[in-house]
Structure formats: C-alpha cells, structure tokens
Chains A and B, each alone.
Chain A
Amino acid sequence: MALRVGCAAPPGRARDNKTGAWRVFKPVFDPETCSRCGMCAMVCPEGCVRETEEGTFEPDLDYCKGCGICMEVCPKKSIRMEKEEK
C-alpha cells in the first residue's frame, strides 16, 4: 500500500475499526415496551443505535462499546445491560 500524498484520507475509515470487542456489558433492547422516542439513538456516542422497520431501535453490536448511556436515558426503561461471557 502506497502512502497517499499529504496524509490525506476519504471519510468513513472509522468503520474499519470495529469496537464491539471492547464491551463488558451489552445493551438488550425490549421492543415491546419501547415508546419509539429515539433518545437512545440520539445519545449513543458511537452512533450505532439504529431505527428498525417497526420504528423501534436496536444497537449494532459490531461497534457498541457497552457504555450504557442508552440504558440511562431510556424513559421507558426498555434497555437493560447484560454481562457478556468472555
């Protein structure tokens, strides 16, 4: 791979860096009680919570670092953090 002149790079390169392995806890979303307010997607620092076709939300576990902010803000308490086995 040759170096690009000026250390220049196109956008989107952070996608190559999957950060999902960094978690201790993963968020589990309950679509049954979700009010579809979208707060979880708005606050996610990784921008990895996305809207489903039903209008509820789900995390992309390839990138979710398990910070738990979505759980903190969810007004319906529809998100819980579950320890993952390593």
Chain B
Amino acid sequence: MRELRIHGRGGQGSVTAAELIAYAAFEGGVFSQAFPAFGVERRGAPVQAFVRFSDEKIRLRSQVYEPDYIIVQDPTLIGDVDVFNGMSTGGIAIINTEKPDFDSRVPEGVKVYTIDATTIALEELGVPITNTTLMGAFAAATGEIGLEPLKNALRRRFSGSMADKNIKAAERAYNQIGGAA
C-alpha cells in the first residue's frame, strides 16, 4: 500500500485533488481511498487530505502518518506545519513554490520536485487554485496515476472549457516534471 498526504489551505482544492487522484488510480485498476482531515471549515485554514493506493481492498481508516508521497499546495504552510513529518528514504515530495532552489528540512532520501503551480494556474485558469496543476506534477513524479486516467478524472469533475483549462494546466505540470523526473 502506498500513501499520499496533501497539505493545502481551505479553498485551494486539496480535498478535490485527493478525490480525483484516487479516482484516476481506481480507473487505472487499483483500489484507492481518498478522505479529508477537516480542521476548521473555512477558506485559508490549513487542511490535509489523504489518498491510499493498494492492490487489495483498503480497510485502514487512520490518517496518513508515514506518507510515501506528499503534495504541498502552499509553501507558506511549511513554516506552520511539519509537512515532511513521517517521510523516509524513497519518498517523493511535490512542492508548489516560485523558488526552484527551494530547500527546507527535507528528510534524507526524499526526492523533492518543485513547481510554480500558482503561476501555471493563474495563466491557465485565471485563479490561484493549484490543485489540478499539482495533480499533473504528481502523476509525472510518482507514476502512481497515468495522464489519461487523470484527464478522465478532470473531465468527470469539470465540464466544457473548465475541463480543457484544467487539463492544460495539469499537462503543463506533467511535462515540466516529466522532464525533471
């Protein structure tokens, strides 16, 4: 079983990202589970969402404490929350930041991918909602979900031009990380 923990803020779409990543994984033929850890239910407050991937039916209901993967939607969280907590060698972190030389208390053996998802989201969607962009980065960095199932997941969630714009944002991130990975 592999586990993903998403760190974001209310309104950035962390819960939706977890749902769509898990849906894409399910479409890809594995059992998956997505769920949120709500703190206070308001825009901007730190939130976490989780995804599990497994070849067998998933029974475990606890939150994710030793993630194989993390996505950090907002780099300002890193001061408030120990986003790397529980990660170990072989882990993969995807971090939204404008600073590619990003360096913070990264545990040994954890591979960090940085991406300026806010700029991509602003350019493609016109709003700083980075979840779909980071899903593209996650797909490329981990191989846990494919680009096609991801596009299907986005089409299931969004319709018309909104789907196209989100797919474009995800693809840009996928290609950018794909080059690095």
Contacts and interface: CB of A to CB of B under 8 A. Distances in A.
Contact of A86 (B43, B44, B76, B80): B76
B128 A24 contact: yes
Interface residues on A, range: under 10
5 contacts: A21-B77, A22-B45, A86-B74, A86-B99, A86-B118
Contacts of A86: 74-76, 97-99, 118
Q: Which residue among B43, B77, B80 has the maximum number of chain A CB atoms within 10 Å of its CB?
A: B43
A22 B75 contact: no
B79 interface: yes
Interface string B101-132: 00000000000000000100010000010000
A51 B137 CA distance: 44
Contacts of B97: 86
Given A24-B128, A83-B122, 6 more contacts: A21-B77, A21-B80, A22-B9, A25-B128, A86-B76, A86-B118
Interface of A: 19, 21-22, 24-25, 65, 83, 85-86
Interface of B: 9, 43-45, 74-77, 79-80, 97-99, 118, 122, 128
B79 A21 contact: yes
Contacts of B118: 24, 86
A19 B74 CA distance: 14
Chain B contact surface mostly: loop
A85 B98 contact: yes
Contacts of B74: 86
A65 B45 CA distance: 10
A29 B9 CA distance: 26
B42 to A, nearest CB: 10
A21 B45 CA distance: 10
A70 B97 CA distance: 27
B103 to A, nearest CB: 14
B17 to A, nearest CB: 17
Contacts of B98: 85-86
A58 B98 CA distance: 27
Nearest to B44: A22
A14 B164 CA distance: 41
Given A24-B128, A86-B75, A86-B118, A65 B43 contact: yes
Contacts of B43: 65
B169 to A, nearest CB: 16
Contacts of B76: 21-22, 86
Contacts of A65: 43-44
